[in-house]
Amino acid sequence: MPFYLRSKKLRIASGGYRDVVLHPRDATNFGLHLGDRIRIRWDHKEEYAEVGISRTAVKSGELGLFEEVWKHHDVLNKGEIIEIDLIGRPESIVAINKKMLGGKLSDQEIRCIIKDVVSGRLSDMEIAYFMGSGFFHPFS
């Protein structure tokens, strides 16, 4: 079930991945934990992000957006209502783990990984794990 918070632009970059920050009270109320993946939507746009938690960066009722999010969508205004949905762990993570353990990936699993890379559902680190797995267990 979605929930809603007001946007707050944070003048901080997260280092590449699109992250957001919640106040601990909101995180508890919505059952979110540090590192959970969410989908945020506003004005017919959507983005995937990872949850951070801070008492000082945002107030309760606000969703802090790092520069990577609001610069990518420069029309995002301060105080805009953001719809938030908790999403599960992407299936591509299971496939990446399989590859890291030496398993052979099916065409479907490879397509799933590519789709998640393109849509921004995987972090830079997760992509690096996938690429690095090819050094230990070459792609066929």
DSSP state letters, 71-133: HHTTTPPTT-EEEEEEE---HHHHHHHHHHTTPPPPHHHHHHHHHHHHHT-S-HHHHHHHHHH
Tokens representing 135 are 């050094």
pLDDT top residue among 137 and 109: 109
Q: How confident is the model at residue 8 (pLDDT cuts 50, 70, 90)?
A: very high
3-87 belongs to CATH 3.60.20.10: no
Other CB atoms within 10 Å distance of the CB of residue 85: 13
The full set of domain ranges for the chain reads 3-87, 91-136
Q: How confident is the model at residue 44 (pLDDT cuts 50, 70, 90)?
A: confident
Instruction: State the pLDDT at residue 45.
Output: 84
Tokens representing 11 are 């003048």
Nearest to residue 84, comparing CAs of 124, 36, 129, 117?
36
- Pairwise CA distance, residues 111 & 108, whole Å: 5
pLDDT top residue among 78 and 110: 110
* pTM summary value: 0.72
Q: What is the DSSP letter of 91?
A: H
Instruction: State the pLDDT at residue 136.
Output: 86
